[in-house]
Amino acid sequence: MSEKNPILFCIGTNHESAGLDFRETLFLSREDIDVALPRVVAKHKIQEVFVLSTCNRLEIYGVLEHPEVTQHHLKEIFIDLQRFSPSPKAELDEEIKHRSYSHVQKEAARHAFSVAAGLDSLVLGETQIAGQFKLAAQLAQENGTLGPVLKRLTQEAFSASKKVRTHTDIGKKPVSISHAAIDLANRVYGNIKDCNVLIVGAGEMAEVAAKYLLKYQPQQLFVCNRTLARAEQLVEKVGIGIPYPWDEFHNILPQADVVISCTASNEIVIDKARVLRSQQQRNHKPQFLIDIALPRDIDPACSTLEDVYVFDIDDLKQVVGENFEERRRAAEQGKHIVVENAHAFEKWLNNLSLKPALSHFREYLDSLTAQELQKSLSKSPLNALDTKQQQALEALLKSIVQKMSADAGRTVHAPPLGYSPENLADALKTLFPMDKNG
């Protein structure tokens, strides 16, 4: 029998399938994933795997050898990632089933390509997701879980992303969650040109936000981070702002009209009591807190305070929906590119099962010709051939083998009506067994 196709799958949740509260509950740090994933792989006999964890999604991409993979099985894999984490959430099993999605084969590839191209993002066309996708694949490579299928998937994902940005207008202007947060701040405050803006954190999202702020020229920009050196590096790179260490946060917060928080903390960093003290010092002048971190940095309870307005990642949907209609049209064009790439990937995936049979047939022909050539050259009249003549005869046989092998390959990959590639591959192995003792 021909080899079974490996089953590519994707299972996860994102900003479309689940709200921020639920995504935050499911959030797993890289350390949590490193603890849980080996047990998930062992239990479900997953051949290849990587996990993509961002502020808007948690997804598992993997390869199984089972001939049939059910949606129930995929949901169990996703649940087990939570189950085997350092902080299991067994009470969420049923809700995970309802708020997650799953794809296999071509649809899994299509989804992966859409994600890498920013077509499945809250902010259409955002560029950060491509880097996050690449990092997830690199970590899997380092951990030895990125095999040939997922390696090809990630290569094709980056290729699709590049095509989408090259052949559509979606890449004309860089956008991200950070861009949307700044646009939201400018909208809700009227004009942040006269505002003091505080960025909490000094990572990639903080850097993007700081650079985009240059467009609006706020009155003052503060950057506060647990590590002062990183805040200083960010300010130096952007060219504006004043860096502060975390122990100065309580002094800086009352001066900020707009706060954009995007740390990598697993806990709340701006709590209600801290904001209340800040408001008392501000004489209750309105303060806008925008939280673009996951898990969240800002306690949602802060929104109950008078003159305090809290916005989170999901609140950016309205800004994105109104401001990126042009990107939405470009995204529709990008979807056609993604579908084409997914179709090509599916063809490559299906052909994996045919390669062993075709290789077997070529080995059979090579072995047969070598065996028969040796017999023939040992007997009259061919034993009288000189070296050049023997080489010419060998070259002729190799040419015939090459043509037979190529013809068989073309027919197996594009079979006549009424035949399947798998059946023809099976036929080759049956008709031409390798054990030739006669």
Beta strand extents in 179-318 (DSSP E only): 196-200, 220-225, 242-245, 258-261, 287-291, 308-311
Distance from C-alpha of 96 to C-alpha of 101, rounded to nearest angstrom: 9
Cα atoms in the Cβ-side hemisphere of radius 13 Å centred on 166: 8
Task: Give the separation between CA 131 and CA 375, rounded to whole angstroms.
Answer: 60
CB atoms within 10 A of CB 296: 23
User: Looking at 10, 55, 195, 302, which residue is catalytic?
Assistant: 55
CB neighbours (10 Å) of residue 55?
A: 23
Q: How far apart are CA 357 and CA 421, in angstroms?
A: 11
Gap between the Cα atoms of 118 and 129, Å rounded: 6
Bridge partners, 196 (sequence order): 220
**Contact present, 61 and 10 (Cβ < 8 Å):** yes
Q: Which two tokens stand for residue 391?
A: 């080489």
CB 246 within 8 A of CB 267: no
CA separation for the pair 422, 425 (Å, rounded):
5
**Alpha helical stretches, state H, 197-311:** 204-213, 228-238, 249-252, 272-281
Query: Smallest Cα–Cα separation from 100: which of 117, 76, 70?
Result: 76
- Is 195 an active-site residue? no
Q: What is residue 50's three-state secondary structure? A: strand
* 3-class DSSP state of 177: helix
Pick the closest to residue 292 from 136, 135, 180 (CA basis): 180
Which among 166, 193, 176 has a CA at the least distance from the CA of 55? 176
**CA proximity to 9, closest of 71, 80, 56:** 71
In 4-102, alpha helices (H): 20-26, 30-44, 71-83, 93-99
Active site residues: 55
